[in-house]
Structure 1
Amino acid sequence: MKTMTDVQMFAQWLGVLPDNWAVMRPKVLFSERRSPNNDSDIHLTPSQTHGVLPQTEYIRKTGNRVVLNLEGSDSMKHVEPDDFIIHLRSFQGGIEHSALRGKVSAAYTVLTPRSGADPRFFRWTLKSHGYIQSLQATVNQLRDGQSIKFGDFDKVPLPLPPLDEQRAIADFLDAQISRIDVLIDKQIKLIAVLRERRASVVTHAVTGGRSPSDMPTSGADLGQWLGLLPEGWHAARPRHLFTERRERSRSNDIHLTPSQTHGVLPQAEYMKMTGNRVVLNLTGSDSMKHIEADDFIIHLRSFQGGLERSHTAGKVSSAYTVLTPSSPVDADFFGWVLKSHGYIQSLRATVNQLRDGQSIRFTDFDKVPLPLPPLSEQGRIAMQLAYEIAEIDVLVAKAEAHIVVARERRAALITAAVTGQVNVHPSGREGQGVV
Structure 2
Amino acid sequence: MSNYKLVEPNDFVIGLRSFQHGISHSTVRGIVSPAYTVLRQTGSLDPQFVKHYFRSILLISHLANITQGIRQGQAIDIEAFQNLSLPVPPLEEQRRIAGFLDAETARIDRIVAASQRQSELLNDRLVESFRALTTTAGSERPVATGIPWMPRMHHDWKLMKVGRYFKTSSGTTPRTSNPAYFDGNHFWVNTGDLRDAAVESPKKTVTDLALADYPTLKVHQAGSLAVAMYGATTGRVGILGVPACVNQACCVLSEMGPVSSLYAFLWFRGHREEILRLASGGGQPNISQDLVRGLRIPAPSRVDQEVIVSRGNALESATARQRALQVRRVSLLTERRQALITAAVTGQFDVSTASGRNVTDGVSA
TM-score range (shorter-chain normalised) is 0.7 to 0.9
Read off the aligned partner of 1:163 and give its amino acid letter: L
The superposition leaves residues 47-99 of structure 1 with CA deviations (integer Å, 9 ceiling, x where unpaired) of xxxxxxxxxxxxxxxxxxxxxxxx7xx67644332111334554553322123
For 2:274 and 2:221, locate their aligned partners in 1 and report how far apart those are by CA, in whole Å: 26
1:184/1:431 Cα in 2 relative to 1: closer, same or farther (>3 Å)?
closer
Structure 2: distance between partners of 1:75 and 1:103: 14
Whole-angstrom CA distance in 2 between matches of 1:264 and 1:411: 38
Q: Partner amino acid for 1:253?
A: H
Letter in 2 for 1:166: Q
2:253 aligns with: 323
Provide the secondary structure at the position in 2 that maps to 1:260: coil
Task: State the SS of the aligned residue for 2:124.
Answer: helix
Distance 1:116 1:310, change over 3 A: same
- Residues 165-176 of structure 1: matches in 2 within 5 Å? 165-176=93-104
Aligned to 1:58: none
Contact 1:241 1:325 in 2 (8 A): yes
Shift of 1:331: 2.6
Q: Higher mean Cα deviation, 150-159 or 119-128?
A: 150-159
Report how far residue 370 of structure 1 moved.
2.2
- The residue that corresponds to 1:294 in the other structure is 223
Unmatched 5+ residue regions in structure 2? 139-144, 173-181, 357-365
The 8 Å contact of residues 222 and 369 in structure 1, kept in 2 or not, is answered as: no
Equivalent residues in 2 for 1:113-152, closer than 5 Å: 113-132=41-60, 134-135=62-63, 141=69, 144=72, 150-151=78-79
Unaligned ranges ≥5, structure 1 = 1-70, 211-220, 269-279
1:365, 1:281 → 2: CA distance? Answer: 26
Deviation track 1:140-184 (CA, whole Å, cap 9, x = no partner) reads 516857876855754766443343443333233223323322332
Matched AA of 1:258? D
- Return the alpha-carbon distance in structure 1 between the equivalents of residues 146 and 50 of structure 2: 55
Query: Displacement of 1:417 after TM fit?
Result: 2.8
Residue of structure 2 equivalent to 1:369 = 296
After TM superposition, the structure 1 stretch with the greater mean CA deviation from structure 2, 370-379 or 329-338, is 370-379
Letter in 2 for 1:415: T
- Report whether the alignment pairs 1:258 with 2:184: no
Give the whole-Å Cα distance in 2 for the aligned partners of 1:75 and 1:419.
Answer: 36
Partner of 1:178: 106
Contact 1:260 1:306 in 2 (8 A): yes
State the SS of the aligned residue for 1:160. coil
Match of 2:148 among 201, 224, 228: 224
Contact 1:350 1:367 in 2 (8 A): no
User: In the alignment, does 2:328 pair up with 1:392?
Assistant: no
Query: 1:243: which partner in 2?
Result: 167
Alignment partner of 1:291: what SS? coil
Mapped partners of 1:128, 1:181: distance in 2: 16
Alignment equivalent of 1:234, drawn from 158, 162, 169 = 158
Matched, 1:312 2:242: yes
Q: Is 2:27 aligned against 1:99?
A: yes
Q: 1:317 to 1:81 in 2, by over 3 A?
A: same
Task: Report the AA paired with residue 166 of structure 2.
Answer: F
CA distance in 2, matches of 1:255, 1:329: 25
Q: Is the 8 A contact 1:246 1:290 kept in 2?
A: no
The residue number in structure 2 matching 1:408 is: 335
Q: Contact 1:180–1:410 (CA<8 Å) still a contact in 2?
A: yes
Using the alignment, how far apart are the partners of 1:405 and 1:153 within structure 2? 30
Out of 418, 422, 427, the residue aligned to residue 345 of structure 2 is 418
Q: Distance in 2 between matches of 1:153 and 1:374?
A: 71
Offset, 1:134: 4.9
* CA contact 2:49–2:94 (8 Å) conserved in 1: yes
Q: Counterpart in 1 of 2:141? A: none
Distance (whole Å) between structure 1 residues aligned to residue 243 and residue 61 of structure 2: 43
Residue 301 of structure 1: CA displacement? 3.5
Query: What is the aligned length?
Result: 332
Deviations 1:334-377 (A, max 9, x none): 1211211xx211221243x2366785442232343322333222
Match of 2:153, SS state, is coil
CA distance in 2, matches of 1:111, 1:222: 65
Distance 1:302 1:364 in 2: 17
Contact 2:15 2:23 in 1 (8 A): yes
Residue 63 of structure 1: aligned partner? none
TM (norm. structure 2) is 0.74
Identity of aligned pairs, percent?
Answer: 25
Which deviations, in whole Å up to 9, do the C-alpha atoms of 1:194-252 show, x marking residues without a partner? Answer: 22222221112211159xxxxxxxxxx99432212222323322222222345899954
Residue 334 in 1 paired to residue 264 in 2? yes
2:33 & 2:184 partners in 1: Cα distance? 54
1:311 maps to a residue whose letter is: G
Answer yes or no: is the 8 Å Cα contact 1:336–1:382 preserved in 2.
yes
Q: Deviations over 1:296-349 (max 9, x none)?
A: 22333343x521122333444454333322333223211211211xx2112212
TM-score (norm 1): 0.64
CA distance 1:224–1:250, shift in 2 (3 Å):
farther
Structure 1 window deviating more from structure 2 (190-199 vs 153-162): it is: 153-162
Alpha-carbon distance in structure 2 between the residues aligned to 1:109 and 1:282: 48
Q: Which amino acid aligns with 1:236?
A: M
Aligned equivalents of 2:62, 2:222: Cα separation in 1: 48
